[in-house]
Amino acid sequence: MTPLREEPRLAAWGTVVLVLIYLGALYALSPYAGPILMGAVLATVGWPWQLRLQRWLHLPRWLASILHALAWMAIIIIPAVLVVESILPELLRVIARWQSGAPLLGVPRELQKIPYLGTWSVEHLRLLNGAHLSRFFSNHAAIITSSLGQLWIFVLHTFFAALTVFAISLHGQRLAEVLRLSASQLWGAERGDRFLLAARDATRSVLIGLIGVGIIEGLLIGIAFGIAGLSAWPLWTVVTALFSPIPFGATMVVGAATLWLVFSGHWLAGLVVLGWGFFVITLADLVIRPLLTGSQSQAPFFLVFFSILGGAAAFGLIGLIIGPILVLLARGIWLAWERRVLLERGTAGTEARSKP
């Protein structure tokens, strides 16, 4: 075999090894794909503000990146801490009632007056006391431990997302140069620029959808919190807006607020918050999110709608973000190719008509 024939084989085997290395790297990072992607989203949103802060205060890049990451952690953690501090006194009263063996849930007088339903509620809720819940917790200790473990994982992933924000903010220009170089090597300078432009537009559209849904869900559900008389309802509103972009984040906040109102004796207010919250969440995820995401890219509503559902089915919860980005990216690349073909045809036709 001649050396000329060996070179293509060696190049092919080198490509296979390179692909396997990158697949192995992606597999190693896959358990933390969620926090890495969330950190990338947060870094993209806060990047313009970091640049302004650097110019105004003449800060070095590393210090501005640290402040950027700490700002996102403060935005997420401080409202949650304030909410916990506001409900802690009532929580201590609930624990004291639980330890005394008294019923944890009281039946409102209006409900007691309803025939049959009032009597049934009083008889069955009387059993819900500290002793009953102690047996329940002991029988479901594995589920409770698993839930606490998931909470710890969520906290850890939030910390990893902040580290990702710091890393991307610190090396943002370097990453942009690497992406531009890689795209030009794969598709050429012109096509590479079109690919990066389509990726930027797709990511921006998804980010606008996430931020818009968070603001809308926070405001609408916050109105219900205020009407229900929830203590520190402005803080609950802020937490809802911050957790809304996270899959099932707003659902957890609404569920926690509902349970809090119910255990505080405000049954009707809790049911109103629960019903209104799920209505707003469903409307926002199925209608408002596709509309906001597609409005920036002029994508059809149902294309974005099915990209959200399909992404969740294919990739899990993180697919709610990955799915629309991939679909909008594919659409952007197709439109760029279509415009180039039509432009070339138009140029060719003009040249043909100009010839004698």
Span of 10-19, 211-220, 259-268, 346-355 with lowest mean pLDDT: 346-355
Count other Cβ atoms within 10 Å, centred on residue 213: 22
Within 8 A by CB and 6+ apart from 251, the residues are 277, 278, 281
Region 215-229: mean pLDDT is 88
Token look-up 């849930």 returns 105
Region 315-326: mean pLDDT is 74
Mean pLDDT of the chain: 75
Confidence tier at 77 by pLDDT (50, 70, 90): confident
Q: Exposed, middle or buried: residue 289 (CB in 10 Å: 0-12, 13-18, 19+)?
A: buried
- Strands (E) in 203-312, as ranges, are none
Confidence tier at 11 by pLDDT (50, 70, 90): low
Q: What is the dihedral of CA 15, 172, 296, 347, to 10 degrees?
A: -60
Count other Cβ atoms within 10 Å, centred on residue 172: 17
pLDDT at 179 over 50: yes
Instruction: Name the phi and psi angles at 126, rounded to 5.
Output: -65, -25
Region 196-224: mean pLDDT is 83
Read off the amino acid at residue 296.
Q
Of 77 and 161, more confident: 161
pLDDT at 236 over 70: yes
- Angle CA 269–262–158, to nearest 5: 100
Of 222 and 210, more confident: 222
Model confidence pLDDT, tens digit, residues 78-124:
776 777 676 667 667 766 666 665 555 656 665 666 666 666 666 66
Percentage with pLDDT > 90 across the chain: 3
Query: Are the C-beta atoms of residues 86 and 232 closer than 8 Å to each other?
Result: yes
Confidence tier at 40 by pLDDT (50, 70, 90): confident
pLDDT of residue 98: 63
pLDDT at 185 over 50: yes
Token look-up 């620029």 returns 193
In angstroms, the CA 39 to CA 166 distance is 9
pLDDT of residue 91: 66
pLDDT of residue 136: 60
Region 171-199: mean pLDDT is 78
Q: Exposed, middle or buried: residue 336 (CB in 10 Å: 0-12, 13-18, 19+)?
A: middle
Ramachandran sector of residue 248 (left: φ over 0; alpha: ψ -120 to 50; beta: rest): left
Query: Are the C-beta atoms of residues 61 and 54 closer than 8 Å to each other?
Result: yes
Using alpha carbons, select from 320, 238, 228, 319 the residue that is nearest to residue 276. Answer: 228
Read off the amino acid at residue 125.
L
> How many residues appear in the chain?
356
Span of 44-53, 130-139, 283-292, 315-324 with lowest mean pLDDT: 130-139
pLDDT at 130 over 60: no
pLDDT of residue 310: 81
In angstroms, the CA 343 to CA 293 distance is 28
Confidence tier at 276 by pLDDT (50, 70, 90): very high
> Which two three-digit tokens encode residue 126?
């009387």
Q: Exposed, middle or buried: residue 46 (CB in 10 Å: 0-12, 13-18, 19+)?
A: buried
Using alpha carbons, select from 244, 76, 78 the residue that is nearest to residue 161. Answer: 76
Q: What is the dihedral of CA 87, 88, 94, 100, to 10 degrees?
A: -170
* 196 DSSP 8-state letter: H
* H-type alpha helices, 58-188: 61-100, 109-112, 117-125, 130-139, 141-170, 172-187
